[in-house]
């Protein structure tokens, strides 16, 4: 018999990890020049841009697989805080043209990752 709480945690993990992984794949295919530019414009070393591969490829895979889920989710939280600070800070208190919060996607990634830190992976995961 399926445990609804564990199934719910799996759905949350697959949704967060899967949707964020698309962003990581796009960066693998198209490069991280935009992020390097954002870092440079804030006076930060551009080498830090490579951290996006950890935050948008490695961590989502950890979350999807349920391997060290809480650590993967913590990395995603850090990644999203940096993304909001570097790129989206000016939108923090604004609405989009269709009336939603301008940072809905970033907020989804951030707060869902926070929830996973507290929830853990559930039963359906890789053994670790």
pLDDT at 104 (0 to 100):
92
Residue 2 confidence (pLDDT) above 80: no
128 pLDDT tier (thresholds 50, 70, 90) = low
CA distances from 59 to 14, 80, 108, 121 (A): 12, 12, 16, 13
How many Å apart are CA 128 and CA 125, to the nearest integer?
Answer: 9
- Token readout for 84 is 């909001």
To the nearest 10 degrees (0 to 180), the angle between helices 69-83 and 4-30 is: 50
- What's this model's pTM, rounded to 2 decimal places? 0.93
pLDDT in tens, 36-51: 999 999 999 999 999 9
* Mean pLDDT in residue range 62-79: 98
3 or 58, greater pLDDT: 58
Mean pLDDT (the chain, rounded): 94
pLDDT at 1 (0 to 100):
57
Which residues, including other chains, have CB under 8 Å from residue 102's CB and lie 6 or more apart? 88, 91, 94, 95, 96
Given a contact cutoff of 8 angstroms between Cβ atoms, the answer to whether 71 and 54 are in contact is no
């Amino acid at each position: 018999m399926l445990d609804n709480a564990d199934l719910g945690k799996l759905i949350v993990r697959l949704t967060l990890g899967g949707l964020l992984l698309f962003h990581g794949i796009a960066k693998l295919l198209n490069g991280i020049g935009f992020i390097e530019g954002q870092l440079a414009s804030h006076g930060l070393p551009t080498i830090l841009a490579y951290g996006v591969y950890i935050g948008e490829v490695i961590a989502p895979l950890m979350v999807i697989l349920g391997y060290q889920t809480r650590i993967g989710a913590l990395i995603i939280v850090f990644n999203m805080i940096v993304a909001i600070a570097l790129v989206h800070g000016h939108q923090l208190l604004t609405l989009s043209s269709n009336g939603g919060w301008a940072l809905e996607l970033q907020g989804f990634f951030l707060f869902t990752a926070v929830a996973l830190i507290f929830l853990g992976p559930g039963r359906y995961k890789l053994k670790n």
